[in-house]
């Protein structure tokens, strides 16, 4: 059965297909986010528990998508459930609409863990976090343009929906990529005001940054592209040196990497401190969340008084000061922060992160050995508790290198894995949780072997 011609992923997924086609009548494309779509139809889930998902047909899956990495404690972790139940019971409401204590508690925790964070502002998603980070950099520097790296994703809005998965035939030279819009509806303004950089190519990146230094407010990057292609240490150090010299704000988008490479994210692992950090995913313990943190003088421009001391300066009319506008009814939602603090607290327990990394490495090593035994060119690429399976022996350092991989074979294996009870969206990265067991790993490796025999 070919993927393109299949009317069902499997006869065992009949209800998923039926529910999906019903959804298509009232939801465009049947999904509420394009990334949730899988051809010929997504699998409709009914419940989760620990490392497992269960669909509407009653099929069980070992879950390695984990809501794109957000559920580092797995599904329904006791610590999270108890924290949100306690918070709502004691507060007597789901939300105050006013400041509350957990905002400060979480901010203090992030300042403690992340070298680049001195003050914190909350948002409701990683997308909003990167948007606010960019606005902050532009307000602070007064410059109009942004530089981002080819292949890096920072959210689905106009300003960064550039050169995420560009057609190489339209994307220019590897050392000097063109800005290519990723979607219809992206205004030319953002294409013209976004400078695209080549990831892990320090020499070319430096040349581009020096050319545009007077108009660039910030450089934003995923320290681990797509959650699995690591920046080379010397590249990271060099980028920090160059941006500091040129007066360009360096933004780390740690939405994927926050708490997954270390409790202090990629910046702690690399020993490189950005000016602004964007966080999301794991931070919310399974709830929508985002946050930015950065240097005090930079963050203070979003204060209602424009950075003045509100206790002594008195009232200041809006036209007498410049303030970066940032608001949101649900920012710092108490239930979300309770879930996030419970998640962080669990990760801080003795040996929890070490055990997570050990099990991740065990799965990677066993998969690499299996594919090697079957004579299939394959490597696992990643850091910490996230990685991807790339079907090539060639080095993978950036977006263009992924073109060397056998994507069709990977897709066929992934579809077979779905039928065998291993859930990963085809071609996506693997995210591990603290509740994935050695039994899960053994079953996963066995499923890969069965898949290799079938494709």
393 is catalytic: no
pTM listed for this prediction:
0.95
Phi, psi of 194 (to 5 degrees): -120, 125
The fraction of the chain above a pLDDT of 90, given in percent, is 93
Residue 354 in contact with residue 263, Cβ under 8 Å? Answer: no
Strand runs labelled E in 172-223: 172-173, 176-177, 194-197, 216-221
The distance of Cα 85 from the centroid of its chain, to the nearest Å, equals 27
The distance of Cα 455 from the centroid of its chain, to the nearest Å, equals 30
**Which listed residue (57, 158, 201, 253) is catalytic?**
253
The structure tokens 């545009």 sit at 212
Going by pLDDT thresholds of 50, 70 and 90, the confidence category of residue 398 is very high
**Which listed residue (20, 153, 270, 430) is catalytic?**
153
Q: Please tell me the distance from the alpha carbon of residue 289 to that of residue 77, in angstroms, as a whole number.
A: 18
Taking only the tens place, the pLDDT of each residue in 13-47 is 999 999 999 999 999 999 999 999 999 999 999 99
Q: Please tell me the distance from the alpha carbon of residue 349 to that of residue 385, in angstroms, as a whole number.
A: 16
3-state secondary structure of 196: strand
**Which listed residue (109, 256, 281, 397) is catalytic?**
281
253 is catalytic: yes
153 is catalytic: yes
Provide the pairing of β-strand 145-149 with 216-221. parallel
Q: In the prediction, which pLDDT does 221 show? A: 98
Taking only the tens place, the pLDDT of each residue in 80-136 is 999 999 999 999 999 999 999 999 999 999 999 999 999 999 999 999 999 999 999
Q: In the prediction, which pLDDT does 307 show? A: 61
Taking only the tens place, the pLDDT of each residue in 222-257 is 999 999 999 999 999 999 999 999 999 999 999 999
Residue 358 has pLDDT above 70, yes or no: yes
Q: In the prediction, which pLDDT does 316 show? A: 44
Q: Which domains does the chain have, with CATH numbers?
A: 78-348 (3.40.640.10)
């Amino acid at each position: 059965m070919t993927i393109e011609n299949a009317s069902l992923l499997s006869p065992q997924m009949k209800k998923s297909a039926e529910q999906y086609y019903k959804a298509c009548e009232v939801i465009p494309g049947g999904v509420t986010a394009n990334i949730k779509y899988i051809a010929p139809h997504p699998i409709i889930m009914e419940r989760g528990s620990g490392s497992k998902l269960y669909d509407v047909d009653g099929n069980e899956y070992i879950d390695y998508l984990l809501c794109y990495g957000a559920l580092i404690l797995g599904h329904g972790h006791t610590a999270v459930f108890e924290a949100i139940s306690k918070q709502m019971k004691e507060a007597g409401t789901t939300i105050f609409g006013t400041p509350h204590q957990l905002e400060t508690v979480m901010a203090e925790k992030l300042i403690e863990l992340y070298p680049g964070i001195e003050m914190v502002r909350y948002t409701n998603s990683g997308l909003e976090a990167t948007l606010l980070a960019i606005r902050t950099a532009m307000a602070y520097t007064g410059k109009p343009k942004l530089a981002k790296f080819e292949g890096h994703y920072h959210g689905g809005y106009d300003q960064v929906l550039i050169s995420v998965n560009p057609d190489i035939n339209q994307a220019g030279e590897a050392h000097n990529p063109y800005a290519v819009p990723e979607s219809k509806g992206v205004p030319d303004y953002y294409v013209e005001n976004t400078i695209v950089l080549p990831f892990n190519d320090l020499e070319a990146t430096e040349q581009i940054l020096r050319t545009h230094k007077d108009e660039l407010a910030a450089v934003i990057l995923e320290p681990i592209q797509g959650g699995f292609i690591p920046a080379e240490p010397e590249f990271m150090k060099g980028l920090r040196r160059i941006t500091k010299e040129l007066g360009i704000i360096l933004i780390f988008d740690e939405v994927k990497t926050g708490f997954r490479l270390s409790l202090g994210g990629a910046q702690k692992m690399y020993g490189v401190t950005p000016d602004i950090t964007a966080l999301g995913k794991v931070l919310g313990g399974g709830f929508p969340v985002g946050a930015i943190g950065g240097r005090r003088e930079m963050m203070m421009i979003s204060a209602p008084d424009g950075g003045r001391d509100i206790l002594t300066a008195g009232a200041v009319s809006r036209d007498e000061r410049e303030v970066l506008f940032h608001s949101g009814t649900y920012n710092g939602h108490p239930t979300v922060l309770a879930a996030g603090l419970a998640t962080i607290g669990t990760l801080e327990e003795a040996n929890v992160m070490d055990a997570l990394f050990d099990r991740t490495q065990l799965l990677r090593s066993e998969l690499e050995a299996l594919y090697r035994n079957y004579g299939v060119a394959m490597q696992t690429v990643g850091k910490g508790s996230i990685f991807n399976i790339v079907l090539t022996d060639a080095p993978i350092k950036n977006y263009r290198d992924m073109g060397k991989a056998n994507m069709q074979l990977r897709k066929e294996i992934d579809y077979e894995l779905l039928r065998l009870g291993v859930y990963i969206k085809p071609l996506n990265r693997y995210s591990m949780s603290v509740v994935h067991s050695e039994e899960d790993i053994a079953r996963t490796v066995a499923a890969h072997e069965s898949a290799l025999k079938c494709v």
